[in-house]
Each structure stands twice: as C-alpha cells, then as structure tokens.
Amino acid sequence: MAKVSIIIPAYNVEGYIRQCIDSVLAQTFADFEVVAVNDGSKDKTGAILDGYAVRDARVRVIHKENAGVSAARNDGIKAARGGYLLFFDGDDFAKPCAVAELVCAMQEQGADVLIYGYHKWRDGKITQTCLPVFAEGLYEGGAIAPELISRFVGFSNEGINKWLRGEEGGLYVENPALWRCIVDARLVRENKLEFDTSLKIGEDTVFISDLLSCAERVHVTHKCYYYLVYRESSATATYEKDALKKLDGKTKLLAARNALTGRVLERTGVDIKGYWNGNTIMSDIELAFLFAKKGKKGGEMPFMQRYRAYLGYAGLNDVRGAARAFKPAAGGGVKRLPFLMLKRRWNFLLFICAAALNLLRYEFNRE
C-alpha cells in the first residue's frame, strides 16, 4: 500500500499540469501514488496525464465526465490506497522536500492533520508568502474548535464590528484550501467525510471544518511547501464577477454551514455558528452591491428583476434573523449605514443606495 496518496483534480489545465506532476515525481520521498482525476477536460489535460501514467506506475488516471472539483476529489478519495492524503490542484506545484518532511512531522507529532504555509506564485516568481495565522505547535481536543475551526469557517459579528471600528483582521478568514494540509486517511475513511458536490464555492471551508472537528491532534508548522499559481481564468476569479453565480453559491454555502454546525455540535459539543454568522450579514450587503451594478453578469436584467434576485438571499429567514440580531458598533461612518438598513429590513433602500454608489464608481469591498 502506498504510504501517501496525492489526489489531483484536473480540468483544462494543459498549460500547468506538467509542472504539477513533475513536482510530485521529483519528491525526495518515493513511497507515494498520484491519483489524477481528469474532470472531463476539453483540452489536452487527459492525454498529458495518460502519458505520465505510461511512464511511471505510481501515476493513476481517472477519466470522468465533468462534474466539478468536489466530485473529482471524492472519486480520488475512493480510489486512494495511501495511509496519508494530500490534495493538490492541477495548476499548482510543490517543493521537492514536501512529502518527506510532512510525513516525518505527522509521525513525530502523532497528528491526524498537519497544516502548513504556502507561497503565491505569479509570472515565475513568489509574490507573497502565506503562513498559517495560528501559532506553531500541537492543538489537541477541545482547543481545535475555538483555535482552528473558528478561523477557517468564517468571521463573527464581532469581526464585522472590528472592521467598522477600523481594526485590522476583523473579516480575515484563514484560507481553507485542502492543498495546505496533509491528512491521516483513517480520519477521512472512518468518518465517511466527502466534499459537498452541491457547492461551487466554499467546498473547502466545509470539508476542512468537518475534518478538524473529527481530529484529536492537529499540528501547525510555519514552513511553506506549496506554490499557489495565479490564473486569471480561475473558477474563483470568474465567480466573483457573476452576480447570479454568487447568489447561488452564497445561498448553498449558507445551508451547508448550517448543516456543518449541527455535525460539529454533535461531535464536539461546540456551537460554531458564532464563528461564521458575520458572513451571512456581509454576504447580504455584497450581493446588494453586485446586483445593483448594471452591466455586470446578472446586471443586464431590469432594475426590479435584479432587486428580486437579490431578495432571493436577503429574504431568507436565516439572513433576516442574523441582520435583526446584529448590533453594529458605534462609529464606522458611512460603512455602518448598510447594517442599520438591514437591521430595520430596509432592503429596498439599501439596494437603491447601492445602485447610486455604483454609479459614482464606489466599490464596496472588505478592505
């Protein structure tokens, strides 16, 4: 049995997949398998992967119809034979020492999960080094939810108030990508963990929170082993510009977070909703500004049709309840006004104000 299974979903990444696979085959640790899942690519990705499989028996390729990254990862998990799991993306790559040092650390610490840092890579160079926000060391039992899950799953109402007061880090969410973790495969198999295929965004948030809630020992290191490659055409970049896709994504993620909260409560006795309910409120305001912006995807609809689309999220009981319960901090200037409007259920006034500010080229963001 291969000691490490490296699961790589790949969709239309012919310009990147060689660098990814080459970085895996260059690992100083040899006892691994690559489970590459070609998710219905329309370019040469599948053929490139098949070429690697012919040359190296450690590479196995699964070809399937396009069903999204979550379904591809689930297929990879089912096919994996290793004692440890790594999740890489087909357009990224890793340091040659990554697998050897991560396996060694997992064994030394007796960890279920190990979280590490990464570099952002663009135009052939590192543009940013991203270390875990958590202190290095071992987190056990009851410390995992408040110390780790709380920073992955979202931000709280108090996080919004920190933002309103001009304090740094209020809306910060630690990157929940699975390519920054090595996982004991037993944890995934015994708890029957899988990615939610209904989610097009936020699937990593739910999976890593589920994963950590099942763990007894999690180790954090500030060493970086992974390179996140920037792509203009990435799914996230496209999603951020499409109002209808963002509405669908946020609605499904809200439902998934609620379900996740119930599972974590059952496993650990910790109610994590307070860690992420700020996301619900901020998402309402973001969607108001996005749908109010004429000309964007979703913005070609008539004004009232765009408003009704926005209400598809703002009108949800969970969203309305979260807005009513939120107490905006004093101060904050103009930034405080949208939250007061939501608290009073003045959604239409918020939408009109957002449309007017969009005309003035005001960009609502979390910075």
Domain range annotation of the chain: 1-91
Q: What are the tokens at 118?
A: 């990464």
- Residue 231 has a pLDDT of 81
Q: Is 125 exposed, middle or buried (0-12, 13-18, 19+ CB in 10 A)?
A: exposed
Residues 6+ apart with CB under 8 A from 359: none
φ and ψ at residue 43, rounded to 5 degrees: -105, -155
Class of the CATH domain delimited by 1-91? alpha beta
Query: 253 near 204, Cβ under 8 Å?
Result: no
Query: 114 near 219, Cβ under 8 Å?
Result: yes
- Residue 333 has a pLDDT of 82
Residue with tokens 């090595």: 182
Select from 133, 174, 26 the least CA-distant residue to 6.
26
Select from 2, 185, 224 the least CA-distant residue to 102.
224
Q: Is 145 exposed, middle or buried (0-12, 13-18, 19+ CB in 10 A)?
A: buried
- Residue 300 has a pLDDT of 74
What CA–CA distance (Å, rounded) separates 281 from 352?
A: 18
What residues form DSSP beta bridges with 5?
A: 33, 85
- Residue 321 has a pLDDT of 96
Select from 231, 17, 230 the least CA-distant residue to 127.
230
Secondary structure tally for the chain: helices H, strands E: 16, 10
pLDDT per residue of the chain (367 residues) written in tens, 0 to 9: 579 999 999 999 999 999 999 999 999 999 999 999 999 999 999 999 999 999 999 999 999 999 999 999 999 999 999 999 999 999 999 999 999 999 999 999 999 999 999 999 999 999 999 999 999 999 999 999 999 999 999 999 999 999 999 898 999 999 999 999 999 999 999 999 999 999 989 999 999 999 999 999 999 999 999 999 998 765 555 566 789 999 999 999 999 999 999 999 999 999 999 999 999 999 999 999 999 987 655 557 899 999 999 999 999 999 999 999 999 998 878 889 999 999 999 999 999 999 998 888 777 665 5
φ and ψ at residue 188, rounded to 5 degrees: -70, -45
What CA–CA distance (Å, rounded) separates 164 from 170?
A: 9
Residues 6+ apart with CB under 8 A from 70: 195, 196, 197, 199, 203
